[in-house]
A and B are shown apart, each in its own frame.
Chain A
Amino acid sequence: MSKTIITVVGKDTVGIIAKVCTYLADNQVNVEDISQTIVQGYFNMMMIVDTSGSTKPYAGMVTELDELGDAIGVRIRCQREDIFTKMHRI
């Protein structure tokens, strides 16, 4: 099962990580790695997650994370890892 990359970009506020992680936990998605930076007040996070235990359909998760992002004022993208490995690795 391929990994999934979740990226969160937007203006920094309290509780962004908490809200994203709560959503993932509720849907049985396991977080394997988080890297995060704040550049000039902008929050920039990348998570590597494993969705193989999740019962939610993939498309549903993409849409719900997108909506969650709208609710907390950040952009959340959820993409399969292959698009990045294929583009940047030979």
Chain B
Amino acid sequence: MVTILEVNETNKMIEQEKLDVRTITLGISLLDCCDSDLDALNRNIYDKITRLAKDLVSTGREIELEYGIPIVNKRISVTPIALVGGRACRSPEDFVEIAKTLDRAARDTGVNFLGGYSAIVSKGMTPADEALIRSIPAALSSTERVCSSVNIGSTKTGINMDAVKLMGEIVRETAEATKENNSLGCAKLVVLCNAPDDNPFMAGAFHGVSEADAVINVGVSGPGVIKHALEGVRGKNFEILCETVKRTAFKVTRAGQLVAQEASERLGIPFGIVDLSLAPTPSVGDSVAGILEEMGLESVGAPGTTAALALLNDQVKKGGIMASSFVGGLSGAFIPVSEDQGMIDAVNRGALTLEKLEAMTCVCSVGLDMIAIPGDTPASTISGIIADEAAIGMINNKTTAVRLIPVIGKDVGETVEFGGLLGHAPVQQVNRFCCADFINRGGRIPAPIHSFKN
């Protein structure tokens, strides 16, 4: 029998500590939509997405209402479009047509983002991959809800440095193409290494080729809940700290698992995974930085930050893994700057630099995320940052990503506003020494020695 204490605890988590299910993401395979005719392909894509996702948003709302737990986002991820459009698209412009179709399908089904305008080029690029990548600036500036990602390396394949070089240029072009809007396009573009097939979180979400025709993936979140739990064990040792995070992560994940099962049952679409990530929002009390500071750091960025993040990430996984049968995606803690008030404050007070963020990405769940940099940062420098981050992912067998926003017309010290969940960010200092000769070499960095496992 449920007790009044348990009911109150759950409701306090939801109301005061901002526990939510961050996203229900419907993954849809578009491989069966392929056609050599672009119009037919677009029609097939639109029809399949709107058919499968027509009840996604309403079902999400129903679950939200019945269980009293907010489900913040309802989203769609699709098969990497470079694979789907390969037969029909002859040029980057053709790919932009698909982006517009995806945008229309997203709008008509009511989801706020649709991910999968992607290419997987960790070992090499097909002509279709390259055309898609070159179309990204135009695609992201002419659509509202489409998110794009490019996987440029993995532990098994090494890093495709040609793609890294190209992506530095594409990030810049995307920034230019959306400069009227604070270079917002770059907030919808992420460069990944070791991208998982089943990630429900944007902008890196896509429906990998290893997945079923359609699946429901759920991402849970609860930085506020974890922070609150830690307030109760101030000054206690690390064993108690870790145990507290673990127990709380378990409860948070159970809520996600319940929502995932319900959504899957009501929509008649198989359940894929629960992603146990702590994802912050710009609202006060929903910050991963807040958790790290609660552990005893004066500010995020202080010595000890990486260790604190490492233990947080590990305990979240340990607590969550038993709460759900299928855990996947990125699972851990996100450390975006613009989406986390604690991170924004830390940057503003000079405690958190790009270099410290890079160190933190060795132990977080993803990587350098939502970081605004000066608009005049050269493409080769962006490529250099991407290469560094990919190398961390490749060598350490983890997913890493880069979502940098070179804000055209802004410089260090200025602030840029993206609005909504994307938040706002101070423009951060980037190391000004040149790496162009390194990036211009091109080719591929071979896979590390520990990739030879079979």
Contact = CB atoms under 8 A, between A and B. Distances in A.
Interface of A: 5, 7, 33, 35, 37, 44, 46, 48, 58-59, 62-63, 77-88, 90
Given A59-B62, A87-B254, A82 B67 contact: yes
Contact of B10 (A48, A63, A87): A87
Contacts, number: 62
Given A44-B4, A77-B11, A88 B251 contact: yes
Nearest to B62: A59
B66 A79 contact: yes
A7 B322 CA distance: 29
Interface of B: 1-2, 4, 6-11, 62, 65-69, 251, 254-255, 257-258, 322
Contacts of A81: 2
B4 A46 contact: yes
Contact of A84 (B10, B62, B257): B10
Contacts of A80: 66-67
B6 A88 contact: yes
B255 A48 contact: no
A83 B255 contact: yes
A46 B6 CA distance: 11
Given A83-B10, A83-B258, A88-B251, A77 B4 contact: no
Nearest to A88: B6
A87 B259 CA distance: 12
Given A48-B2, A62-B65, 10 more contacts: A7-B7, A7-B8, A78-B68, A82-B67, A83-B68, A84-B2, A84-B7, A87-B254, A88-B10, A90-B322
A37 to B, nearest CB: 7
A80 B65 CA distance: 9
B68 A79 contact: yes
Contacts of B65: 58-59, 62-63
Contacts of B11: 7, 77
Contacts of A63: 65
Contacts of A48: 1-2
